[in-house]
Structure 1
Amino acid sequence: MSPPPGTVRPGGRTARTRAAVRDAVLSGLVEHGYPGLTVEYVAEHSGVHKTTLYRRWGSIEGLVADALDAAGEDDWTPPDTGSLSGDLHALAQEVVDTFADPAAGAAPAAVIAAAFQSEQAANALRAFYAERFGRCAPLVERAAARGELPAGTDPGALAGAVTAPLFFRLFITREPLDGTVAGQAADAALAAARAGVFAPPA
Structure 2
Amino acid sequence: MRAAVFGALLVASASYACFEPPPSIRTSRDDLVEEEVDDDVVEEDATEPPQETAPPPEIEDRPAPEEPPPPDAFTNASPYVALTTQESKRRHGGTANAGKDCMNCHLPGMGAPPFAIGGTVYSTATSKAGAPEVQVRIVDPSGAEIALVGTDSSGNFWLPGRRPIPPGSRVAIRDGTQVRAMAGTIGSGACNQSGCHVPNRPIWLGE
Q: Identify the TM-score tier after normalising by the shorter chain.
A: under 0.3
Q: TM-score, normalised by structure 1?
A: 0.21
Point out the structure with the larger strand share: 2
Structure showing greater radius of gyration is 2
Point out the structure with the larger helix share: 1
Q: TM-score, normalised by structure 2?
A: 0.21
